[in-house]
Chain A
Amino acid sequence: MNTSKILRSVVQALLAPLIAVVVSMAVTSIVVVVAGASVGDFWDVIFKVPSHRNLVNITNQSALIFLAALAAAIGFRMNLFNIGIEGQYTLAAYTAALVAGQAWFPGKVNILVALLVAMAVGAAWAGIAGVLKVTRGVSEVISTIMLNAIAGTVVGYLLSNHGQQYGQGRRTTPIPESSQLAGWTPWKESDGAIWTLVILAVLAGVTISFLINRTRFGFDLRATGTNEDAAVVSGVEVKKMVVISMLISGAIAGLIWMPALFGGADYYGPPFQRTLGFTGIAVALLGRNRPLGIFFGAVLFAWLSEQANPLALVADISPSIVQITQGVVVLAVVVAYEVVRRWTAAYEQRELKAALDREAVSA
């Protein structure tokens, strides 16, 4: 009885993502055919056993995507659409790189300070949207999108006016060597290293998971997200919650680029990876805003992007095609979850009725 129950809940949890992945594979296959390439070649490339170097890259990318998705998920759990992760992590990454580059503190302390700065800047940038929402009723969707544009412009301006000339572009002063982290090299040196601060993703995931599921604050947050009216009746001050949630979401967003910054990027400049914030939103949807779900989503996205690189060479098709797979999987998962939810609700109703009937018979 109990094992079958556990089994059922596992099936319920996995069914929707599974359907979504199958659907997106089918759609991608069709697109590949329409584009005139070989479906077999395409999937061969995607499912090829990753090389050591690929594995390192997938791990590193997964961590960044995971942090971005986690930031989005905190907002989503409360029906707040923080579309501004992009701007928050851009500004945070720039500021942290700037501060770390000044080397005001020695070695590891420098890193810690930079991390705190990154979180504070991300939180502040998101907090603007939160405060605008509760004081002026501005939709956070609109304000965060605008803040994205502002953040991009501000960073671009500061970099080109105060940045250090480096090759074709400009960059912030590189962080001192004492503050760079070597990472962990599981295989050969040439395969690359897993960034030390990938651990940030793990820590953030565990912390947020605990915060949301085990604390009173988390309960208030989830209650507000699922039924704001009932939350208000229960004594939740929604305005305060909106601001706090935006601050937390922004603080996590501020961490997104940190593993890369201290793991090898060493400065803010051209290698900076854009659009992680938007990828994070998609992955949060895919993972249903649950840290574990987001983890699998992040790995899937990182895998697809990494494995797609040789597509142009091997299968004569643009690697961008995996973006279709990524898009469809998000779309499909939303639909699939709704279907599974209804199915579960109907099942629960039947179970309830059966239980009550048993009770009626025995009474």
Chain B
Amino acid sequence: MSATVTEQGTPAGKPSGGIVVRDILKQFPGVVANHDVNITIRPGTVHALIGENGAGKSTLMKILYGVQRPDGGTIEVDGKQVRFSSPTDAIKAGIGMVFQHFMLADNLTVLENVVLGAEKLHGIGDEARAEITRISDAFGFGLDPDELVEDLGVGQRQRVEILKVLYRGAQIIILDEPTAVLVPQEVDALFANLRELRASGRTILFISHKLDEVLAIADDITVMRRGETVGEADPKTATKKQLAELMVGSELPSPETGESTVTDQVLLTLDDVGLVDERGRALLKNISFEIHRGEILGIAGVEGNGQEELVETIMGMRKGTGRITLDGKDIDSWDTRERREAGVAFIPADRHRHGLLLDFPLWENRILGHQTKEPSSNGFLITRKAAKESAEQIVADYDVRTPSINTNARALSGGNQQKFIVGREMSSDPSLLIASHPTRGVDVGAQAAIWDHIKRARREGLAVLLISADLDELIGLSDTIEVILRGEIVGTFDPQTVTPQDLGAAMTGGHSTEEGGAR
């Protein structure tokens, strides 16, 4: 079945692309379905769709973009009912989508990336180049059609994605969490572009869970919760608190840690730590800092500036230079297992890759990383009973939603997987916690719970190394913030006084450029 709307003869400047979504129903096994979804998007506006992870935003988006078909309800575009069986139909109806993860070929130019799959529109030569330049100029994108994508920063890559959509004639642009990958300065630039697009009469559906941003850019706001639309808000009058309550049905959690619990006992010391890759390039250089018991040290930085390498060096997975001491003991010669046994707990950034055995039951995942200690084993044999009991305890204490501890880790939602990992690491009675993006991709409820657990452990004297891309989280939780850029510490900030803008500037090298930092 093809789209029933093909006409697109809207005069330039006159807003078009209004969407009315009524009673959308979508059911499929195991994932939050949509039901009673009703949204009216006025043409020529920025419409924000907000909700927690798992609230059904993605499902709705996929329905609007023709990736999935609804089981019930109707969609109207410009007053005409449409039915999409594929994204091609959605594009024909003037709907374009920019995904959170860019779909660009690094080794191709901007021009090549844009025309890929749309060669019929303006060819692949000068006509296409002219069209790209025209769009880029019209909206202030500042893109050179012949530049290689691999040379572009994150903000620029995102604009290439938007340009791709515009090139295909989209009147309605869906943006899936577009700010998740950007630093504050880049967010401002994006919003300027979005305002230009709105001024040209295009309609934007902006999906986010960052309330500040939503309030700054949106003309209308729709809130989703548990798969349905639960309310609308006017950004001129709504407050963050009201929106958050609509989203979660409760109060907005805050990462604030309260009073300082920093002690004068140094737990972890890094002294001139460095690391080079096989080709001799420096991944880490001259890193020195101390973490005391009861202290949270935050590391801010654009992703890929050495955070991962820093964590792996402290964990003993990579061999660096310099000295690392833990609780007064030189641990440079220790392997990962010895360091873990000495009380280093680790919440990895990529929980699927580093934190879980997805096809193993939860109770066996309780053992992972703690194989040598009670209650996992007696050194030689796995102590099944004790491990299971401990897993039960974690599930209860950390509110992990699962039918049982025999369920495979894969079946759990991201937030519950993360809560289980946090519980596992905390249960090992650690002295140092390395938390890498501990609340990434988890919903607000789980986020608050994880923050609480970290705060509680800090009060009890835990030293924490916190790496996060969420600047609010870093500022809220940390006692000290170090900024890392191209493998070096480039600044130390006091979270009491620093603003996200200051951090953003330091993270990108002291000035608000478009560069995504070192690669």
Contacts and interface: CB of A to CB of B under 8 A. Distances in A.
A351 B403 contact: yes
B273 interface: no
A235 B372 contact: yes
Nearest to B32: A353
B359 A226 contact: yes
A158 interface: no
A227 B408 CA distance: 14
Interface stretch (A120-128, A183-191, A211-219, A280-288): A211-219
B356 A352 contact: no
A8 to B, nearest CB: 13
Contacts of A273: none
B403 A215 contact: no
B279 interface: no
Contacts of A351: 403, 411
Given A345-B410, A359-B401, A352 B357 contact: no
A45 interface: no
A49 interface: no
Contacts of A234: 336, 340, 368-371
Contacts of A229: 353-354
Nearest to A355: B403
Interface string B398-416: 0001110001101110000
B408 A230 contact: no
Nearest to B358: A227
Nearest to A345: B410
B379 A216 contact: yes
Nearest to B379: A216
B29 A350 contact: yes
Contact of B29 (A218, A233, A349, A355): A349
Contacts of A359: 401
Contacts of A340: none
A232 B317 contact: yes
A352 B353 contact: no
A220 interface: yes
A219 B403 contact: no
Interface residues on B, range: 35 or more
A236 interface: yes
Interface in A221-278: 222-223, 226-227, 229-230, 232-237
B144 interface: no
Contacts of B358: 226-227
Contacts of A226: 357-360
A352 B411 contact: yes
B401 A237 contact: no
Chain B CB within 10 Å, residue with most, of A234, A348, A350: A234
B357 A230 contact: yes
B85 interface: no
Interface in A315-363: 345-346, 348-353, 355-356, 359
B422 to A, nearest CB: 15
Contact of B411 (A215, A222, A232, A348): A348
Contact of B381 (A215, A230, A236, A355): A215
B43 to A, nearest CB: 37
Nearest to B360: A226
Nearest to A353: B30
A184 to B, nearest CB: 34
B207 to A, nearest CB: 23
B463 interface: no
Contacts of A348: 407-408, 410-411
Chain B CB within 10 Å, residue with most, of A229, A233, A352: A233
Interface in B358-379: 358-360, 364, 367-372, 376-377, 379
Interface string B328-354: 000000011111110000101000011
B403 A352 contact: yes
Given A215-B381, A346-B29, A235 B402 contact: no
A233 B377 CA distance: 18
A355 B367 CA distance: 25
A57 to B, nearest CB: 38
A345 to B, nearest CB: 7
B382 interface: yes
A235 B369 contact: yes
B381 A223 contact: no
Contacts of B407: 348, 352
A235 B367 CA distance: 12
Chain B CB within 10 Å, residue with most, of A218, A230, A345: A230
A345 B411 contact: yes
A355 B339 CA distance: 39
A123 B147 CA distance: 56
B204 interface: no
A216 B382 contact: yes
Contacts of A355: 402-403
B30 A230 contact: no
B380 A215 contact: yes
A233 B337 contact: no
A233 B336 contact: yes
Interface in A94-127: none
14 contacts: A214-B382, A216-B371, A223-B360, A226-B359, A227-B353, A233-B315, A345-B410, A349-B29, A349-B31, A349-B411, A352-B402, A352-B412, A353-B30, A353-B31
Interface of B: 29-31, 315, 317, 335-341, 346, 348, 353-360, 364, 367-372, 376-377, 379-382, 384, 401-403, 407-408, 410-412
Given A230-B368, A237-B335, 18 more contacts: A214-B382, A215-B380, A215-B381, A216-B381, A216-B382, A219-B364, A219-B371, A220-B371, A227-B353, A227-B357, A232-B317, A233-B336, A235-B339, A236-B371, A237-B336, A351-B403, A352-B403, A355-B403
Cβ-closest 7 pairs across A and B: A349-B30, A235-B337, A234-B369, A355-B403, A235-B336, A348-B411, A216-B377
